[in-house]
Amino acid sequence: MRPAPPSLLPAEGRTDGARAMQGLLHRLSLGFALAGGGLLGLVVLVTTANAVAFILDRIARLGGANVPALPGYEEFSALATGCAAILFLPWCQASRGHVAVDVLIARAPVGLRRALGRIWLGLTAAVAAALAGAMALGVAELRADSAVTAVLGWPIWPFLMPAVAALGLWSAVAASAMFGTSGDD
């Protein structure tokens, strides 16, 4: 596991509460990423089972029988993969895994790099919060409309709730980093 990024603030400028909050956000982010990985692992298992069913069906047809594939496999895969992808975003932010182009500011003074880092972290926090809010409204609308998948008839909104939480966590991680950590140093 990668250590938390270094602090923007001098050690004497950080409180124990700020360090504790950053540690909590870091652990939550890791938990969300592990949940996303678990979901993708489940997608792999279901995909494998579906592929095996297709192969067994081809073999069974030689004897006049058939083996059905998994109904609604595509629906489950799409919903789970979409949710899992968003669950990785807070961890990516917490571990400084997002792509950064520092070519233009690599030789800039440390103060300028820190200021620009804080600006970008603030923008990231604002965008992630806006996405979380918009997605929450969309989830509420899907729930009110009783939207379900076409084959399985599963409600769609429960698959999106973890993504709303992940976007909120991503915003919190970026905001916390803006005041306590950065990609510099």
The pLDDT tens digits of the residues spanning 131-175 come to 999 999 999 999 999 999 999 999 999 999 999 999 999 999 999
| Residue 148 dihedral angles phi and psi, to the nearest 5° | -130, 165
Rounded distance between C-alpha atoms, residue 108 and residue 103, angstroms? 10
Strand partners, 7: 181
**For the segment 75-89, what is each residue's pLDDT rounded down to a tens digit?**
999 999 999 999 999
Q: What is the pLDDT of residue 17?
A: 79
Is pLDDT of 177 > 60?
A: yes
Alpha-carbon distances of 111 from 28, 40, 96, 104, 118, rounded to whole Å: 30, 41, 19, 15, 11
User: Cβ(139)–Cβ(164) under 8 Å?
Assistant: yes
User: Cβ(90)–Cβ(28) under 8 Å?
Assistant: yes
Is pLDDT of 2 > 50?
A: no
Mean pLDDT of 110-119: 88
Mean pLDDT of 91-108: 81
